[in-house]
Structure 1
Amino acid sequence: MDEAIGFLAADWPAPAHIKAGTTLRTGGVSQAPFDSLNLGDRAGDDPAAVATNRERLRDALALPSAPAWLYQVHGTRVVDAGGDTSGEADASSASRTDAVCAVLTADCLPVLFCDTRGDCWGAAHAGWRGLAGGVLEATIEALPAAPANLMAWLGPSIGAHNFEVGEDVRSAFCDRAEADASAFVARDTPGKYLADIYALARARLERAGVHAVYGGGLCTIDDAQRFYSYRREPETGRMASLIWRQRPALATDADIT
């Protein structure tokens, strides 16, 4: 029997018709070191295996359409998931459509958004470069809702105890916002720090007016059974973080009285 598709549902108070979460690395057909539900088509895996994994994912989650896969480059461009998604982009947004927003990660931070009514939603790929550059703020701006009416979920990413960075990364944040210094802990080696990407994302969301933030606290490096990690294994697969609107169930004769 085929192994079930692994999926970690977002733990947030989104409207019931909004579905969101992150895939795990189980339930696909990719061989080692991409085993087994690799969804990234630029990781070096067999393209046929990736295509099969993507089809299995769509069937298992009963997605209303194929996910809007992006050509991610650690930038800040946001595209309409229901329109032209060609070109480089690291986030997508959707509103009142069947579009499925999706981003691929293997240590970077995936951030999912929706408004309190569930009328719009989005997904952002926030590695440190994109996060410092403003990909979250760009995604918020692309959504047709006031920031105060949005909620965000932080998917699995590299944990603060494993994310060693240099002075360049610290400066990219702290030169813009001195308060971000609290997310960096100096190491014994001069110029080296441990960075808390979850804390950095929460701070940027708060400054952008999004106060309802959920998730966080996981570490892709520590959990090799569930998550891919590029820092742990440079040749590895990618998880997908997705968000979509579930179609209403069709009425049957039994439902009509």
Structure 2
Amino acid sequence: MQFVEGLPEGIYVGQTKVFHEQVEPSPTAELTGFNLALHVNDDPIRVQHHRIRLLEDFRSLGVKQMTWMTQTHSTICLTVNDQMNFHAQEGDGLVTQKKGHALMMMTADCLPIVLGNAEGTEVANLHAGWRGLAHGIVENTIIEMKTKPMWAWLGAAISQPCFEIGAEVKDTFCCKYPELETAFKAGEKSGKFYADLYAIARLILKLHGIDNILGGDQCTFLQNDEYFSYRRHAQTGRMATFVFLSQ
């Protein structure tokens, strides 16, 4: 398991990939790999085995609990500390101040963003597709946090050359943040553009005082040996981005 470097002491951040040493065999070629999502028509027992193995990977660092969400491309962000939720709550952002509580977000082209404060006492994990970024998942997560986030990490997402969108998507962003005009390149087809999720996220984060931004240099679509990609194959698995405060 590879963790992000350059963060406050005691904070662990990373993202799973297609390969894992204890991946379960898949009955379908499309879901081959370390899938962690229950909503992609995979065998739920297989998925739960993968989640348990991930928890076992974290146990030596003091993780006792993992929280997953039913993600809906919303702007809902929730704080979870000691409570145990036996049913997945809907939303696309999680915040915790509890040590040993891993926050999990699933993606397969959308942008995972992890936030944290300078003291290493509070972290957040959010799922940011274009809808979430445009409608305020970053802003709502910052509001939900009790302390000011001072750093961010951007996990693997689809890169600009592979992410074609319509003019209505570009207009949604640029009406809210005119500075984002430079995050879009005109496509070959009329009314089509290529959107840079990383550039969009960086600008929004910087507008909210977060200048220390790590990551943002991968492509889920092109790096097919490492990441699942919904745009590459609609029937595919999901990676998980994680963050936790060690005990």
**1-structure distance, mates of 2:147, 2:45:** 39
Judge conservation of contact 1:112–1:122 (CA < 8 Å) in 2: yes
Q: Where do 4+ consecutive residues of structure 1 move more than 4 Å?
A: none
Change (3 A) 1:30 1:72: farther
Q: Which of 5, 8, 14 matches 1:15?
A: 8
Q: Does 1:131 align with 2:130?
A: no
**2-structure distance, mates of 1:158, 1:59:** 29
**2-structure distance, mates of 1:178, 1:238:** 32
- Partner residue of 1:191? 191
User: AA paired with 2:147?
Assistant: A
**2-structure distance, mates of 1:174, 1:95:** 34
User: AA paired with 1:114?
Assistant: G
The structure with more radius of gyration:
1
- Partner residue of 1:240? 240
Judge conservation of contact 1:9–1:21 (CA < 8 Å) in 2: yes
**1-structure distance, mates of 2:67, 2:181:** 35
Q: Percent identity?
A: 32
- Partner residue of 1:251? none
Judge conservation of contact 1:81–1:100 (CA < 8 Å) in 2: no
Gaps of 5+ in 2: none
- Partner residue of 1:67? 66
Cα deviation 1:201-234 (Å, max 9, x = unaligned): 0000011111111100110000111100000011
- Partner residue of 2:203? 203
Judge conservation of contact 2:102–2:244 (CA < 8 Å) in 1: yes
Cα displacement (A) at 1:8: 4.2
User: AA paired with 1:233?
Assistant: H
- Partner residue of 2:179? 179
TM-score normalised by the chain length of structure 1: 0.89
- Partner residue of 2:17? 24
Cα displacement (A) at 1:151: 0.5
Cα deviation 1:120-167 (Å, max 9, x = unaligned): 0010000000010110111111112124xx210000000011000001
User: AA paired with 2:47?
Assistant: V
- Kindly tell me the number of residue pairs found equivalent between the two proteins: 238
DSSP-derived class of the 1:67 partner: strand
- Partner residue of 2:122? 120
TM-score normalised by the chain length of structure 2: 0.92
- Partner residue of 1:153? 153
Residue range with higher mean Cα deviation, 13-22 or 228-237? 13-22
**1-structure distance, mates of 2:79, 2:99:** 11
- Partner residue of 2:105? 103
Residue range with higher mean Cα deviation, 190-199 or 55-64? 55-64
Cα deviation 1:163-191 (Å, max 9, x = unaligned): 00001110110011111010000012111
**1-structure distance, mates of 2:142, 2:205:** 9
Cα deviation 1:55-96 (Å, max 9, x = unaligned): 111112226123210010000101113236643210100014
